[in-house]
């Protein structure tokens, strides 16, 4: 690996699971010098005290600081990752942008182009509608060029990534009927966050499987926005998330009717055409089922598919790490594009 010019970088809100994954990735990124990590709760403690896994990692002796924009900027940071709750991220994003940092936001605050849709799904007015225009929805497989020059990247949610990447090429190619899309996802418990909540206790999640958040999970808003763009018309889908007892990993199975006259082979062709050059999309081919255990702690998304001639439905099966390609890894992938690194720098984990 070549010697790189290190970019001073901040993580704002680094004490949750996405923050922890960002720490893991950025502490090991050859092009990054972690200059600040913030946490209201842990301010004053060393990273390695809060996350003992990082003891001994170069850089992990850094202390958490309060999320004050001036203090972050004073560290010389040129980039900031925000791993904050929606509604909170927008304000600090603005402050950091004003201070010249480029921002990669992992919250939902800048994912929706339309502030009214934000309000519908998140239940409060958008906190910074004037910034929406400059935000880029950070799916590198779709918008690499825009990401390269963006000052504000809205990194996609975990479920959306697992649903969009298999579906987008099929919608762009007009291969499926968008009105028939049904997506079922199973997520690891880390997706629910690192918060003291009885429903997330070990004994409440272990030996349990359950749907939740039906019928209108918030991630639907960004999923449908992107599907609609690809289809060239409004798309509305059914999406049912489930919680299963694994730490990380999302497995998503999406079905849709193939349009009349479209051959099953066209599905494989469309996926190949879309992702042949994408370093983090692994196409498993027809008949193969994706397994989360092959992608945990990586930035890969594995995609297999099948055609059911009995019903005319195509079945798309994707697997990703909800903290990796579904959160921290994907954000770092955008960072790499923004700062001129190779897309895979710091993401070569197996």
Among 134, 149, 236, 263, binds its own copies (CB under 8 A): 236
Q: Does 301 bind its own copies (CB under 8 A)?
A: no
Among 39, 225, 292, 336, binds its own copies (CB under 8 A): 292
- Minimum CB separation from its own copies for residue 149, in Å? 27
289 binds its own copies (CB under 8 A): yes
245 binding its own copies? (CB under 8 A): yes
Nearer to its own copies, 32 or 153 (CB): 32
Sheet containing 79-82, strands listed edge to edge, beginning at the edge strand earlier in sequence:
32-38, 7-12, 79-82, 102-105, 152-154, 135-137
In terms of DSSP bridges, do strands 313-320 and 250-257 run parallel, antiparallel, or are they unpaired? antiparallel
Q: Of these, 29, 102, 313, 325, which contacts its own copies (CB under 8 A)?
A: 313
Q: What minimum distance in Å lies between the beta carbon of 299 and its own copies?
A: 10
The answer to whether residues 189 and 200 touch, using CB atoms and an 8 Å cutoff, is yes
- The interface with its own copies within residues 196-215 (CB under 8 A) comprises 196-198, 200-212, 214-215
- Indicate which single residue of 255, 322, 330, 336 sits in contact with its own copies (rule: CB under 8 A): 255
Distances (CA, A) of 338 to 103, 144, 146, 245, 260: 10, 9, 9, 36, 41
Orientation of helix 329-338 relative to helix 140-149, angle to 10°: 40
Answer yes or no whether residue 85 interacts with its own copies by CB under 8 A: no
Shortest distance, position 80 Cβ to its own copies, whole Å: 21
- Residue 125: which residues within 8 A CB-CB, separation 6 or more? 115, 119
What is the closest distance, in whole angstroms, from the C-beta atom of residue 88 to its own copies in the complex? Answer: 19
Report the run of H or E that residue 73 belongs to, with start and end.
Answer: helix 69-74
Nearest to 252 by CA among 277, 217, 228: 217
81-89, 113-121, 305-313, 326-334 -> range binding its own copies (CB under 8 A) = 305-313
Nearest by Cα to 325 from 263, 260, 281, 271: 281
Q: Are 101 and 79 in contact (CB under 8 A)?
A: yes
- Identify whether 158 is a catalytic site residue: yes
Size of site (CB under 8 A) for its own copies: 86
Residue 276 in the binding site for its own copies (CB under 8 A): no
CB of 254 to its own copies, least distance (A): 10
Of 35 and 254, nearer to its own copies (C-beta) is 254
Minimum CB separation of residue 221 from its own copies in Å reads: 11
Omega cis (within 30) before 215 = yes
By CB under 8 A, residue 291 contacts its own copies: yes
- Binding status of residue 121 toward its own copies by CB under 8 A: no
Nearer to its own copies among residue 36 and residue 251 (C-beta): 251
Which member of 17, 110, 118, 159 binds its own copies (CB under 8 A)? 17
Please return the burial class of 143, using the count of CB atoms within 10 Å of its CB with bins 0-12, 13-18 and 19+.
Answer: middle
The verdict on 308 binding its own copies (CB under 8 A) reads: yes
Alpha helices in 303-346 (DSSP H): 329-338
Task: Cite the active site residues.
Answer: 158
């Amino acid at each position: 690996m070549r010697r790189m010019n290190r970019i001073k970088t901040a993580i704002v809100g680094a004490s949750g699971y996405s923050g922890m994954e960002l720490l893991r990735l950025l502490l090991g990124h050859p092009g990054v010098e972690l200059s600040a990590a913030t946490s209201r709760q842990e301010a004053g403690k060393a990273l390695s005290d809060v996350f003992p896994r990082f003891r001994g990692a170069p850089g992990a002796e850094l202390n958490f600081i309060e999320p004050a924009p001036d203090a972050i900027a004073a560290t010389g940071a040129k980039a900031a990752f925000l791993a904050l709750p929606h509604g909170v991220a927008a304000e600090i994003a603005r402050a950091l942008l004003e201070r010249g940092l480029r921002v990669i936001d992992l919250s939902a605050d800048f994912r929706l182009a339309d502030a009214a849709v934000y309000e519908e799904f998140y239940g409060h007015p958008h906190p910074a509608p004037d910034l929406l225009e400059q935000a880029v929805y950070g799916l590198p497989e779709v918008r690499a060029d825009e990401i390269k020059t963006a000052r504000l990247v809205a990194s996609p949610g975990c479920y959306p990534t697992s649903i969009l990447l298999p579906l987008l090429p099929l919608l762009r190619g007009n291969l499926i009927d968008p009105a028939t899309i049904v997506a079922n996802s199973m997520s690891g418990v880390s997706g629910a966050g690192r918060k003291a909540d009885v429903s997330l206790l070990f004994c409440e999640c272990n030996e349990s499987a359950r749907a939740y958040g039906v019928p209108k999970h918030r991630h639907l808003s960004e999923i449908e926005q992107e599907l609609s763009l690809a289809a060239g018309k409004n798309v509305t889908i059914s999406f049912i998330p489930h919680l299963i007892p694994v730490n990380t990993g999302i497995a998503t199975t999406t079905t849709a009717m193939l349009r009349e006259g479209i051959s099953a082979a066209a599905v494989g062709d469309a996926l190949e055409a879309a992702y042949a050059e994408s370093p983090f999309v692994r196409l498993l081919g027809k008949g193969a089922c994706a397994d989360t255990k092959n992608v945990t702690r990586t930035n890969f998304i594995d995609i297999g598919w099948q055609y059911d001639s009995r019903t005319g439905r195509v079945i798309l099966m994707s697997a990703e790490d909800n903290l990796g390609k579904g959160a921290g890894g994907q954000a770092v992938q955008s960072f790499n594009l923004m700062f001129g690194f190779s897309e895979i720098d710091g993401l070569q984990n197996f």
